[in-house]
Amino acid sequence: MKPRPTIREVARQANVSPTTVSHVINETRFVSEQLRQRVYQAMDDLGYRPNALARSLRQGETHTLGLILPDSANPFFAEIGRNIEASAFELGYSLILCNTEGDINREHIYVDLLIRKQVDGIIFVGTGDRSDSGDRSDPLGALFQRRLPVVVVDRDLPGIEVDAVLADNLKGGYMATRHLIDLGHRRIACISGPSHLTPSAYRVTGYRNAHHEAGLPVDHSLIQRGDFHPESGRIAASRLFELPDPPTAIFACNDLMAMGALHVAATNGCLVPDELSIIGFDDIELASFSFPPLTTISQPKKKMGEVAVQLLLERIQDKSRPVQRRILSPSLVLRQSTGGQEA
């Protein structure tokens, strides 16, 4: 295999100095159009390709960002990731996507990899299993110790001083439950996500707050735990169907679990929304295509992605700026899976 051409060979071919070739490649000094064309022609003739990583290291930035997600197969994260990639691309940055599958050991591995890849910054959605992030044993601790710019998205890290872009999950859980109460429901179940994840915990608190505000008792047998995957929604809804006094409405803390609940209703011949109302959370694209189309709480995924990239680039430019926290409001999307309940 022919050895890669060197910058000296390009210089000789173009009849200029190696320094001139370097200035043309790195645009570090003015070079006349005539000389530039000679250098580019020589590079084409020899098949020379500048070493982008070497140039990045010289310039101190790679224009590459890291994105760490806990479950890239979940449509919510797929859509958030797409929006982050689109925003980064518009601003001239490429992305390295890391999927941790909710495993903190993989999180460790990916954080080390991104540090070694010299990314300029990281957008981070954690697995949720935090130890003390102040110490190096925690993946985030390694990032903080290296002063690598980080923006946390979706899953807050309470007590840690870091830029964050979050949905107002407390408000979202309240809105979902208030909607069902306003429809006349009094036996409202909640299928939660993993309790150690802040988004789910806040949504369940919002569910409780709506009950308290309406003077309704919270029946703890109506709160079933899921894991944000559809199968857990199916299992939780099956348990609710077996209760002596089943609910007339279900608030699932994400759309995938709501799909699991819709599946149980369909297999039990239970009409949605005539006999059971179901509301989800996220507003993934599939929510419009379930049967019936899912009423849900929409997370502002596009804006979350845009703001996360904006905050990260601002942090890259100025590592000493004050920590920014953006809490974005969710919204109720009415479709056909919720309906009135006679008192």
Which residues are at the interface with ligand RIB (CB under 6 A)?
74, 76, 154-155, 197, 199, 228, 254, 256, 281-282
Q: Shortest distance, CB of residue 199 to ligand RIB, whole angstroms?
A: 4
Residue 39 buriedness (CB in 10 A; 0-12 / 13-18 / 19+): buried
Name the residue nearer to ligand RIB (CB basis): 197 or 294.
Answer: 197
- Whose structure tokens read 């439950």? 177
The distance of closest approach from Cβ of residue 256 to ligand RIB in the complex, given in angstroms and rounded to an integer, is 6
Cβ at position 294, least distance to ligand RIB in Å: 13
- Shortest distance in whole angstroms from residue 191 CB to ligand RIB: 12
Calculate Rg over the CA atoms of the chain: 26
Which DSSP string do the residues of 116-183 spell out, in sequence order?
HTT-SEEEE---S----TTSTTSHHHHHHHTT--EEEESS--TT---EEEEE-HHHHHHHHHHHHHHT
d(CA 228, CA 258): 9
Nearer to ligand RIB, 39 or 68 (CB): 68
Report whether 268 contacts 274 (CB < 8 A): no
CB < 8 Å & 24+ apart, contacts of 282-286: 282/75, 282/76, 282/254, 282/255, 282/256, 283/255, 283/333, 284/75, 284/76, 284/79, 284/255, 284/256, 285/75, 285/79, 286/75, 286/255, 286/259
Tell me the residue nearest to ligand RIB as measured from the CB.
Answer: 254
Of 199 and 305, CB closest to ligand RIB: 199
Q: Is the dihedral of CA 157, 158, 159, 162 positive or negative?
A: positive
Query: Concatenated DSSP letters for 185-201?
Result: --SEEEEE--TTSHHHH
Closer to ligand RIB by Cβ: residue 110 or 202: 202
In the complex, the smallest distance separating the C-beta of residue 169 from ligand RIB, rounded to whole angstroms, is: 7
At closest approach, how far in Å is the CB of 80 from ligand RIB? 8
Q: Which is nearer to ligand RIB, 13 or 254 (CB)?
A: 254
Residue (120 or 154) nearer to ligand RIB, CB: 154
Distance CA 217, CA 196 (A): 24
At its nearest, how many Å lie between ligand RIB and the CB of residue 327? Answer: 13
Amino acid present at 233: G
Nearest approach, Cβ of residue 104 and ligand RIB (Å): 16
Nearer to ligand RIB, 199 or 247 (CB): 199
Closer Cβ to ligand RIB, 43 or 68, answer by number: 68
